Amino acid sequence: MISLPLTAAHKRLSRLIARAALPAVFLAAPAYPAKADFRLCNNTGSRVGVSIGYKDNEGWTTEGWWNVSSRSCETLLRGALVARYYYIYAVDYDRGGEWSGKAYMCSREKEFTIRGTDNCLARGYDRTGFFEVDTGEQRSWTVQLTDAAEQAPDRPLAPRAPIGTSRPPTTLPPPPPGGGKP
């Protein structure tokens, strides 16, 4: 192979081609934003209905219902999480039972988005016990719902309790600065 020295004109042409090709490389590379969502996986043999409660800049909100098929996952909230604590209430449509807790929030039987957690019954809503999920201030989180029979025998949990989360506390943690929990 013979190596010839590049002339000044060849060097300029090479730089020009390199500059023109650089944007094409960036356009060809797909831009995948980092996933940051709150997801729930239904690892049971039943269909489940799920509702969620959370506090954002505008206050407390509860939303429902997501219908999650057996052995599948659903994104409940998209984007980076804005709070440390989220609350879940779920029902087993096929065999009965529920995943619940002692953090009472408003809900209803049909699809809903409810602002606030006070006076649920007086406002025409149900008062429902949600279980707490401590995300540890992670940007994304996934809750796993399992059948009680699928729990490891050395980890006694209440029937229908979610895997990966402890039983809801009997008292709620101290309220964060600027507002309290329900």
Check residue 66 and give its pLDDT.
Answer: 96
For all residues of the chain together, what is the average pLDDT? 75
Q: How far is CA 134 from CA 17, 46, 108, 112, 143, in A?
A: 53, 25, 24, 23, 10
Q: How far is CA 44 from CA 52, 116, 128, 158, in A?
A: 19, 31, 22, 16
Rounded Cα gap, residues 165 and 144, in angstroms: 9
pTM above 0.75, yes or no: no
Check residue 166 and give its pLDDT.
Answer: 35
Task: Specify whether the CB–CB gap between 39 and 72 falls below 8 A.
Answer: no
Q: What residue segments make up the domains of the chain, in order of their start?
A: 37-150
- pLDDT below 70 — which residues of the chain? 1-35, 149-182
Check residue 128 and give its pLDDT.
Answer: 97
Q: Which residue has the tokens 């895997």?
A: 163
